[in-house]
Structure 1
Amino acid sequence: MPVAAVAVAGLSRRSGLSAPLVLVIAGLLFSFVPGMPEFELDPEFVLYVFLPPLLFSAAWQSSYYDLRENVRPIALLSIGLVLFTTFAVGYAAYLLVPGLPLAAAFVLGAIVAPPDAVAAVSVAQRLGLPRRTVTILVGESLFNDATALTAFRVAVAAAAGAGFTLLDGTGRFLFAAVAGAAIGLVLGPPLHWLRTRLNDPLVENGVAVLAPFAAYLIAEALHASGVIAVVVSGLYLGHRFTESAAVTRLIGHSFWKVVIFVLESVVFLIIGLQLPAVLDGVSGHGWASLAWYALVIFVVTVAARFVWVFPAAYLPRLFSARIRDREAWNGWQGPVVVSWAGMRGVVSLAAAFAIPILTSSREPFPGRDLILFLTFTTVLATLLVQGMTFPALIRLLGIGSAREEYTDRVAEAGAQHAAAQAALERLEELVAAEPGPIDETVAERLRQLAEYRQLRAWERLGGGTGPEGEEVPTNTYRRLRQEMLAAERQVFIRLRDERRLGDEVLNRVLHDLDLEEAALDRD
């Protein structure tokens, strides 16, 4: 399955299509292939193997400062909207499905409440949504699972006859959130201390790989939120990642990109492959009724997000001048984009499969198969309907981040200029402090490198061309140097093929060439 997932994801990326959507469709098609075995989702496998690294990587790459500046809208979505959706969908299901107990209906509401922002964020970043919008979507996806899973457990306990009350549920949620955050904060500093003292890039990144699993397992063992523990530890370690060595950062960045690509590909393929298992459970229901239930739950799930997002966006600005002054405003288009970015994912399916088969009185869990079916149809509908139309909606609304990109380039150019100036001053201090004379060609080469970085940052503001459209000097340097590196690489490979150079030496020199080419390619 991982091979098929990576192959499909690779083809979709080459075609410029959204990989998550193509993978879901591919999973659906694979499920109809004769002889294809059924892949019934193992909730423990998803929650303990897939979820920690996906959350940790997203937190690692997130900006702590951006998340902190947007804590109010993120909290309104990841806590307020999840609970609102739980109640809205729960009551709708209770009124819609004859004989479905209210507690079991709230189980469905909690399951479909948390969006999975992977697909939405990938599209948003590719199409250049404003940074604040992307930050809010990422922040929501980091924390909403904790709210939803806690609500899910409370609703399941109530439906199974364990006697939970609303007060019990509130206390359980607060404990899980606070304890999870505390565990993440306790784990972060010692793991960072360990990483910075190992002086071995592979072992340092090995610690980072184990960190999300350790945080999740410890938190869950203490009945805290494993999701929040992973996110908090990931934010801490990611914020301090600048203190690691350069090679450690290079290896870590590449490693996480590959791992997350594979995990996300497998996850979205698994969603489509669940169709046979889901349909088997509802074979005794009428298809017309099932289609009607699925449509209503999907519409309520989408509508609940709109009903919550617009007041949450407008009312704080209406009543607080401080919020109006501090927070950028994209007009009504911003809330529309956030409202439509509500695709559900594998966490919802994992929660549905985790519903116990029997209650505490050894009776079948009420409506379990129907809840699983409605979860699957809601996940599928949001991914296909919202996911396929999301890029078109962004283009139609004309909401983008061109101004932010220009501001970023100006800020980068100014920072590169200041950094290069500091480097030049430090170089002159070192040259003056040397006990003996330094070869002037060495000092001049270092000066030229610092000046190249200065020029490259400023020339990027013009798109890499001069006033008459001619190629700027740093672009010429980059193009010619890339050709030189290619020629060097061919010689090393030819010498290896002629057995005049060992593979170990080849790998070492190619690594150096690759690092230089990667630095040249950065735009």
Structure 2
Amino acid sequence: MVENFIYYLGLVLVIIGAIMLANRLKVAYPIILVIAGLLISFIPGLPTIKIDPELIFIIFLPPLLYEAAFAVSWKEIWKMRRIITSFAFIVVFLTAISVAFIANSYIPGFSLALGFVLGGIVSPPDAVSAGAILKFVKVPKNLSTVLEGESLFNDASSLIIFRFAMVAVATGQFLWQDAIVSFGWMIFGGLGIGVALAYIFLKIGKIFPTDVNMDAILSLVAPYVMYIAAEEVHASGVLAVVSGGLFLSVRRHEIFKTSESRLKGSNVWESFVFLINGIVFLLIGLDLPEIMLGLQKEGISLSEAITYGLMITAVLIVVRLLASFGAVFTTLVMRNYINVADRSPGMKAPILMGWTGMRGVVSLAAALSIPVIMENGQPFPHRDLILFITFVVILVTLILQGLTLPTLIKKLNLSDSKDGYLSKEESEHFLRRGMRHVAINYLNENYRERRRENEYFNKMLDRWEQEDKEDSIHKMSDEGKKMYFEALEQQRIWLREENRRNINIDEEHIRHYLTRLDLEEERVRM
């Protein structure tokens, strides 16, 4: 027991070291973690990590999806909703269908139902991998929004396919009329349950007194409650978490009511997601030896299994590239009839979208969740081959596409593309001026007489008006602090309203200034 604990502790240190190395090399950390796990797996005498397949989704998916939903901008997702839904649903379905028929045609003993199981597993690209790579390069905001938004919803569509295919494998039949009803309930039931539970968590925070620690704990519990509640009634737990996360993301100032809870909650989530992502990608490499043993039991040679894996990987890459150019063609046609976000998409964007198809967390979790024995007592057919193909797909897409994507982005020179947003410098100038005016007007309207009595406030307002440096905060009285915090709150309200009104302001810049206001408030409180 002690030895295993030391081993697990060592893996955490490996995760930290691998990510430090990735940052030093300017390489996406999922690539380094998978390779590290692969190398560790060949060290003899190390214990095998085994996780109950039924717990894979519950442990890893809810917090990762919730954090991703909380981080994206609903305003920007809505702006690019057509292309996001196309990639998240239509492209995923086309990919799963293509994989199913290719696997059924070329892999011996693979039924069409098994092909859809595999297609549901490998069809969704991984947001974590793409996000880690995009840290080192600049792309237009619209493209990064599409990638982030797609990743939120493609997990749900792929797992719906996976679930129906698993039922077909277990029962040997597929009833379309039942599937349509179940499909509708999974989507709308998941969305409704997620929003309803998010609303309940929001009200709990308003009705009952909470402190910083309670706010952080409630935010950690929320995605698990949403996911489990939806799955218990056979709705989509993924959509429940995504819809609930988006609902609360817009109302984050109501969930984390104070500047301290917002700052500490953000730090807690960053550390938690950092660890979970590291464990998952390390598991991808660590799981290879056990998968290879399963292949031997099935009587499938390693060369055959690698060939199948590379074949499915090629299908995924080709289908996504074709779908990306198909989306451009559709946009060029539909812009004559409806208003589209980008009226001249060009040829560079689909190349990038087509090449950002790295697979990762969701594919691994889905593959590992396949039961060894079905409910009828029979072993699940070709389980280890599906696991191995999934491993090859993840490894090849991470290394091939992950390592070449930064070079491709630089070659395409997309950073100069127009995306409808003000530049960073223009946004900063607009927001800083607006925040100053809001604070000055509020204080002049509510504390004009007090301002004359308080030397610090004269100097503080001069700083806002003339961009001078402020004097020591220790000169501020309790009354002065109260006035100052009220002014900061008015600036927060203005920033949130400006984010809703002004479609030309990138929400990332808004959030940056909201964080600065929280930091300023905590600095004054100390």
Kept in 2, the 8 Å contact 1:181–1:229? The answer is: yes
Q: CA 1:122–1:288 in 2, change beyond 3 Å: closer, same or farther?
A: closer
Report matched runs for 1:253-272 at 5 Å. Answer: 253-272=266-285
**1:304, distance to aligned residue in structure 2 (A):** 1.3
Unaligned runs of 5+ in 2: 1-10, 473-517
Deviation at 1:99? 2.3
How far residue 316 of structure 1 moved from its aligned partner, in angstroms, is: 3.0
Please name the residue that 1:214 is paired with.
225
| Distance in structure 2 (CA, Å) of the matches to 1:351 and 1:200 | 37
Q: TM-score, normalised by structure 2?
A: 0.82
Bigger CA drift: 57-66 or 308-317?
308-317
Structure 1 CA distance, aligned partners of 2:278 and 2:394?
16
Other-structure match for 2:27: 17
Match of 2:464 in 1: 450
The alpha carbon displacement at 1:322 in A equals 5.5
Aligned counterpart in structure 2 of residue 224 of structure 1, from 212, 232, 235: 235
Shift of 1:287: 2.9
Aligned-pair CA distance for 1:403: 5.8
The answer for the alignment partner of 1:375 in structure 2 is 390
- Return 150-159 or 345-354, whichever deviates more: 345-354
Secondary structure of the 1:385 match is helix
Going from structure 1 to structure 2, the CA distance change for 1:122 and 1:324 (only over 3 Å counts) comes to farther
- Give how far 1:277 is off: 1.1
Q: How far off its partner does 1:411 sit? A: 2.7
Could you say if the C-alpha distance between residues 23 and 17 of structure 1 is closer, same or farther in structure 2, counting changes exceeding 3 Å? same
1:78, CA displacement in angstroms? Answer: 1.2
The Cα of 1:199 is off from its aligned counterpart by: 4.9
Is the Cα contact below 8 Å between 1:185 and 1:232 reproduced in 2? yes
By how many angstroms is 1:517 displaced?
12
User: Contact (CA 8 Å) 2:192, 2:240: kept in 1 or not?
Assistant: yes
Q: Summarize deviations over 1:242-262 as a string: whole Å, max 9, x none.
A: 343222211122221111111
SS of 1:34's equivalent in the other structure is coil
User: Structure 1: any 5+ residue segments left out of the alignment?
Assistant: 456-473, 482-513
Rounded to whole Å, the distance in 2 between the matches of 1:351 and 1:398 is: 36
Equivalence for 2:288: 275
Matched with 2:85 is 75
Indicate yes or no: 2:321 matched with 1:306: yes
Does residue 239 of structure 2 align to residue 237 of structure 1? no
Residue matched to 2:368: 353
Question: Could you say what the CA RMSD is over the residues aligned between the two structures, in angstroms?
Answer: 2.7
Distance 1:253 1:172, change over 3 A: same
* CA shift in 2, pair 1:206/1:287, >3 Å: closer
Question: What is the CA-CA distance between 1:109 and the residue it aligns to?
Answer: 1.2
Tell me, in whole angstroms, the C-alpha distance in 2 between the residues paired with 1:15 and 1:48: 33
SS of structure 1 residue aligned to 2:46: coil
Go from structure 1 to structure 2 and tell me whether the alpha carbon gap of 1:258 and 1:62 turns closer, same or farther (over 3 Å shift). Answer: same
Separation in structure 1 between the aligned mates of residue 133 and residue 522 of structure 2, nearest angstrom? 25
Q: What secondary structure, in the 3-state scheme, does the structure 1 residue paired with 2:139 have?
A: coil
> How much does 1:360 deviate?
5.5
Contact 1:23 1:268 in 2 (8 A): yes
Tell me which amino acid in the other structure corresponds to 1:103. A
Aligned partner of 1:448: which letter? Answer: D
- How do residues 343-492 of structure 1 correspond to structure 2 at under 5 angstroms? 343-359=358-374, 361-400=376-415, 407-434=423-450, 438-439=453-454, 441-451=455-465, 455=467
1:185–1:233 Cα contact (<8 Å) kept: yes
Q: CA, structure 1 residues 122+437, in 2 after alignment: closer, same or farther (shift >3 Å)? A: same
Shift of 1:321: 2.8
| Counterpart code for 2:380 | F
Question: Which amino acid is the alignment partner of residue 253 of structure 1?
Answer: S
Q: Measure how far apart 1:299 and its partner are.
A: 0.4
Query: For each residue in 1:119-178, what CA deviation from the matched residue of structure 2 results, as whole angstroms up to 9, or x when unmatched?
Result: 112322431211111111111111111111111111111112253223333322221010
Change (3 A) 1:334 1:403: closer
Structure 2: how far apart are the matches of 1:10 and 1:196? 40
Q: Quick check: 60-69 or 196-205, which moved more?
A: 196-205
Cα deviation for residue 363 of structure 1 reads 3.4
Matched position secondary structure for 2:108: coil
Q: Is the 8 A contact 2:79 2:341 kept in 1?
A: no
| CA deviations over 1:219-266 (Å, ceiling 9, x no partner) | 011111111111111111111113432222111222211111111111
- After superposition, the C-alpha distances for 1:432-467 in whole angstroms (9 at most, x for unaligned) are 344x9613x222222134236xx4xxxxxxxxxxxx
- Quick check: which has more Rg, 1 or 2? 1
Tell me if structure 1 keeps the 8 A contact 2:113–2:166: yes
Aligned counterpart for 2:311 among listed residues 293, 296, 303: 296
Partner of 1:509: none
Contact 2:121 2:363 in 1 (8 A): yes
Q: Specify the code of the residue in structure 1 equivalent to 2:428.
A: E
Taking the aligned partners of 1:448 and 1:126, their CA distance within structure 2 comes to: 39
Measured in 2, the distance between the counterparts of 1:89 and 1:185 equals 33
Aligned length, in residue pairs: 464
Aligned-pair identity in percent equals 35
Alignment counterpart, residue 342 of structure 1, candidates 351, 357, 382: 357
Deviates more, 1:24-33 or 1:354-363: 354-363
CA contact (8 A) 1:162 1:360 kept: no
Q: Contact 1:150 / 1:173 at 8 angstroms: preserved in 2?
A: yes
Q: Indicate if the aligned counterparts of 1:46 and 1:347 stay in contact, CA closer than 8 A.
A: no
